[in-house]
Structure 1
């Protein structure tokens, strides 16, 4: 009878995915010695080396290690399915839940939702991942995540979107900008000004499409993939930017005051919601998270970021 645990297999897969003990430790919030010991025990149990250390590249699986890793992933997936069965039989949500979130608003939404959900369902353990839109699609299809909080941007037909709130686009400006005191601003007024573009897959196309109706092209002066960097660039006068989620503070990370001015309609608003694979709601834990998210909308938890509940 093999003498290893699911926890050891989880450590093994984390090392295989991240390519190192330290990075696996950060992902799992487990000490590096614990992970090293688990790998050593598995190698002793299987009587084969699972990883080799490559200079400047961390740990790489051996040929046998790759086969063991593939099987370990299947075993862990089947174990999760058994937990889903038990949850359905017992009528309670329990077990792990892998939640992805669009990187542009993850820091504003997911930690609070996660804390509330885990308090309501103490038998569920959430593993969160921040991704761009294209990465979310791939992670769902590979079953790396169970569901994701994101926008309705270019949703593929094989995935299912559950809308929660509507978010109008707004211009992010330095508080000292001439347009900062306006009630709203038109895309044609923004087009000649220097723009700090939040440059992420799929999201970029949406921001640029807001200028299509006025047949203008924005003057992109800066590009960044980081929301915090974008806010600091705007606060220091390098240009305006566009976003859909309002931060809880009107200060940039380096202390500069910002203004958020709605972009005049007609422009396309985005819907924020939950994205899943078809049939994911068969899992009681996934259903519980969807229900919790809808309750959060009804309670006004999304009001602070500018969310208008979908009817």
Structure 2
């Protein structure tokens, strides 16, 4: 179908609908010569005969012509929807955005997203709601959120995703710990430590399976659904923790100093993804949020390397 114009497609479909060149010309408000030339060009482009033209009996489609016209009808119907698609997209960008986000991810990226839109897109109203994976799937399906942000591997089924940033696995230790001054630490160096690890998915299974591969799963004494709880346990010196994050955690909820030491060769990855309904291509909203999260991740990683 390379080289065909929408106008040529319209002429051929009009011929099929009216049964004559003259009828198609009247319908399309062009001359019969223009319609005839268009059909000739289509047949030449496809290297096949699509019509049988007889003066007294009008135009009859060949079998190939019927198949082509059926396909062209679909194309023309879809092109008619383009103005509505553009209008809908513009409305989404200009008016409001509703973001669904996993609770432990929100503190790392929502301030940056809200700041970026407030500074550069002040006409856009941005709202967010913290959701589980099941809630994300439901709300994306219903259209009550425009996009969702979560961890790769925890993204809802039947959604499309854009990768938005890689998180770092840290050992979280008290400031007084012997490893607090290290620039990185191997997991095997933590064999004598007790761990409090995330209880939320997928971080729990990812981290627990890593410890299990190193025969260290017996060192897990607590799990917690809140990173604040994990930080407080570390701040009190009750356990170390393993946490994925974009940047270093420096204090517990009670103000106790803690230190984030990157795990060397962690063997596992955890990235952030932007989720959206699979029936649409990523648009302005998805790509803007992807860029913001990528910039936030890059900024934290740059600070970590200093």
* Unpaired runs of at least 5, structure 1: 1-81
Match of 2:151 in 1: 151
Report which of the two has the higher share of helix: 2
Q: Is the CA contact 2:174–2:259 (under 8 Å) kept in the aligned structure 1?
A: yes
Match of 2:17 in 1: none
Match of 1:291 in 2: 287
* Unpaired runs of at least 5, structure 2: 1-82
The alignment's C-alpha RMSD in Å is 3.0
Match of 2:94 in 1: 94
- Structure 1 counterpart of 2:297, from 276, 288, 302: 302
Aligned partner of residue 206 in structure 1, secondary structure: helix
Q: Is residue 231 of structure 1 aligned with residue 231 of structure 2?
A: yes
Task: Please state how far the C-alpha of 1:190 moved relative to its aligned partner.
Answer: 2.9
Q: Deviations over 1:12-53 (max 9, x none)?
A: xxxxxxxxxxxxxxxxxxxxxxxxxxxxxxxxxxxxxxxxxx
Aligned partner of residue 114 in structure 1, secondary structure: helix
TM-score of the pair, normalised by structure 1: 0.62
Aligned partner of residue 222 in structure 2, secondary structure: strand
Q: Which aligned pairs between 1:236-251 and structure 2 lie closer than 5 A?
A: 236-247=236-247, 250-251=250-251
Give the distance between the partners of 1:201 and 1:249, measured in 2 at CA.
Answer: 20
Match of 1:23 in 2: none
Task: Please state how far the C-alpha of 1:207 moved relative to its aligned partner.
Answer: 1.7
Q: Is the CA contact 2:136–2:148 (under 8 Å) kept in the aligned structure 1?
A: yes
Match of 1:253 in 2: 253
Q: Is the CA contact 2:100–2:148 (under 8 Å) kept in the aligned structure 1?
A: yes
Give the length in aligned residue pairs.
221
Task: Please state how far the C-alpha of 1:108 moved relative to its aligned partner.
Answer: 2.2
Q: Which aligned pairs between 1:1-311 and structure 2 lie closer than 5 A?
A: 86-88=87-89, 93-247=93-247, 250-281=250-281, 287-296=283-292, 300-306=295-301
Q: Is the CA contact 1:87–1:94 (under 8 Å) kept in the aligned structure 2?
A: no
Q: Is the CA contact 2:162–2:290 (under 8 Å) kept in the aligned structure 1?
A: no
Rg larger in 1 or in 2? 2
Q: Is the CA contact 1:84–1:95 (under 8 Å) kept in the aligned structure 2?
A: no
In terms of mean alpha carbon deviation, does 225-234 or 113-122 score higher?
A: 113-122
Aligned partner of residue 185 in structure 1, secondary structure: coil
CA 1:141–1:306: 2 relative to 1, 3 Å: farther
In terms of mean alpha carbon deviation, does 169-178 or 216-225 score higher?
A: 216-225
Give the distance between the partners of 2:246 and 2:154, measured in 1 at CA.
Answer: 22
CA 1:291–1:259: 2 relative to 1, 3 Å: same
Match of 1:14 in 2: none
Q: Is the CA contact 1:245–1:305 (under 8 Å) kept in the aligned structure 2?
A: no
Give the distance between the partners of 1:307 and 1:149, measured in 2 at CA.
Answer: 22
Give the distance between the partners of 1:156 and 1:222, measured in 2 at CA.
Answer: 27
TM-score of the pair, normalised by structure 2: 0.63
Give the distance between the partners of 1:165 and 1:307, measured in 2 at CA.
Answer: 13
CA 1:108–1:220: 2 relative to 1, 3 Å: same
